[in-house]
Amino acid sequence: MMRALQIDECGRPPAVAARPEPVPGPGLEPVRVVAAPITPLDLLCATGTSYFGTPALPYVPGVQGVGSAGGRLVWFPTAAGMAPGDGSMAELALARAEDLVELPEGADPYAVAALGLSAVAAYLALTWRGELAAGEQVLVLGGGGAVGQAAIQLARLAGARRVVAAARSAAGLERARQAGADAVVPLPPAGSDDVAGLARRFADACDGPVDLVLDPLYGVPAAAGARTLGQGGRLVNLGSAAAETCPLDSATLRSRSLRILGYTNNELSREQRAAAVTYVAEQSAAGRLAVTHEVVPLERAAQAWEQQSSGAADGRIVLAFD
Ligand SMILES: NC(=O)c1ccc[n+]([C@@H]2O[C@H](COP(=O)([O-])OP(=O)(O)OC[C@H]3O[C@@H](n4cnc5c(N)ncnc54)[C@H](OP(=O)(O)O)[C@@H]3O)[C@@H](O)[C@H]2O)c1
């Protein structure tokens, strides 16, 4: 038997349970899990309201993790909550052999787990979808989240000349500052519809027109961010942490031929994802990329899950299995 976190009912907190060790089928490899982050995607899938539908119950959550497989330290993805099967939040998990990504020498498993797909999304939304070029100015919304903190550092690594970040909470603003933002702008409380006022505060913090907005929030922050863009500027949306819709006016969009783009990790090829994980892990091992995180033992997982879903956690919570 092994210990695992288990979702018994959608919308209810998970609990630690004893479960039989999974038996690898064809193409699957067992991974002795070291670290598994609790991410927004895990929380969303467990509500049963995601666009993947209601998961078959009970199941072990966790769409990614770091562990040892065949004597190697690897990062691995799972489809837990999005398709039938169990995820990474167990002492032993199964992953497709071709999905395993061996981590470079010196990589810290907890730091890489905290970065994981959040940093992959930040990296590819900036560089692949957003076509960030050296010397450009970037505005990162949600700069205190895992995606935002990673985006601030990754934009810098890609040669951005100025990186401005926006965050909602005092703690989020501080995390964005720590990540290296040149300036940080507080976001108004939820319910504010003052797009023009926020756009003015963004413009004050920026050095002329913005080239690229990295947007995990949507809603009023995205509409205000779009107004800071210069001719041909790009806004890449990868989440809706603030709102599902966005009051973006046509004049802003058409007058500067803006490009509003969507991004999802689910579209990546296996090779693209592996290359991005490798880049993220290399930058982490070199001390150039990190997101604030707290390592919590499995015994405290149910409480940690609640903390992460209520927004009370100080950064990403990573479950430890050793
Ligand atoms: N498309 C993809 O492939 C992809 C990949 C990864 C993540 N995402 C999405 O991107 C979003 C952020 O992910 P994450 O990993 O950075 O999550 P996270 O670490 O949990 O951070 C959430 C962020 O959202 C901010 N936030 C939450 N509610 C807000 C509101 N009402 N107004 C303004 N800001 C708000 C928080 O601000 P404070 O820090 O100020 O509290 C924090 O910065 C999530 O929606 C996630 O699902 C998408």
The alpha carbon of 165 and the centre of ligand 1 are apart by a number of angstroms equal to 13
Whether 32 has a pLDDT exceeding 80, the answer reads yes
CA dihedral 148, 126, 62, 34 (to 10 degrees): -80
The alpha carbon of 26 and the centre of ligand 1 are apart by a number of angstroms equal to 36
Helix (H, G, I), strand (E, B) or coil at 205: helix
Whether 116 is in the pocket of ligand 1, judged by its Cβ within 6 Å, is no
Q: Which CATH superfamily is domain 120-265 in?
A: Medium-chain alcohol dehydrogenases, catalytic domain (3.90.180.10)
Confidence of residue 51 (pLDDT cuts 50, 70, 90): confident
Q: Which CATH superfamily is domain 2-102+292-320 in?
A: Medium-chain alcohol dehydrogenases, catalytic domain (3.90.180.10)
> Rounded mean pLDDT of the chain?
97
Assess contact for 164 and 185: CB atoms under 8 A. Answer: yes
Query: Which residues make beta-bridge pairs with 17?
Result: 4
For the stretch 53-89, pLDDT in tens is 899 999 999 999 999 999 999 999 999 999 999 999 9
Helix (H, G, I), strand (E, B) or coil at 179: coil
Whether 265 is in the pocket of ligand 1, judged by its Cβ within 6 Å, is yes
> For position 132, what pLDDT does the model report?
98
Ligand 1 pocket: which of 238, 264, 308 to mutate (most atoms within 8 A of CB): 238
Please tell me the residue having the least CA distance from ligand 1 atom 27: 241
User: Average pLDDT, stretch 179-185?
Assistant: 98
Please tell me the residue having the least CA distance from ligand 1 atom 32: 242
> For position 190, what pLDDT does the model report?
87
For the stretch 189-221, pLDDT in tens is 988 999 999 999 999 999 999 999 999 999 999
Whether 268 is in the pocket of ligand 1, judged by its Cβ within 6 Å, is no
The alpha carbon of 115 and the centre of ligand 1 are apart by a number of angstroms equal to 13
User: Average pLDDT, stretch 126-135?
Assistant: 98
Across 49-53, 91-95, 109-113, 158-162, least confident range: 49-53
Whether 262 is in the pocket of ligand 1, judged by its Cβ within 6 Å, is no
Cα(268)–Cα(262) distance, rounded to whole angstroms?
13
User: Average pLDDT, stretch 23-27?
Assistant: 94
pTM of this prediction exceeds 0.95 = yes
Where exactly does CATH 3.90.180.10 map onto the chain?
A: 2-102+292-320, 120-265
Whether 280 has a pLDDT exceeding 80, the answer reads yes
Pick the more confident residue, 276 or 51. 276
Q: Computed from CA positions of residues 77, 83, 89, 94, in that sequence, does the dihedral angle turn out positive or negative? A: negative
Alpha carbon distances (Å) from 281 to 112, 113, 319: 6, 9, 18
Whether 6 is in the pocket of ligand 1, judged by its Cβ within 6 Å, is no
Ligand 1 pocket: which of 50, 117, 129, 217 to mutate (most atoms within 8 A of CB): 217
> For position 322, what pLDDT does the model report?
77
The DSSP result for 212-273, as a single string, is EEEESS-HHHHHHHHHTEEEEEEEEE---SS-SS----HHHHHHTT-EEEE--GGG--HHHH
Q: Which atom of ligand 1 approaches the CA of 169 most closely?
A: 40
Where does residue 19 fall: left (phi above 0), alpha (psi -120 to 50 degrees), or beta otherwise? beta
> For position 307, what pLDDT does the model report?
95
Whether 187 is in the pocket of ligand 1, judged by its Cβ within 6 Å, is yes
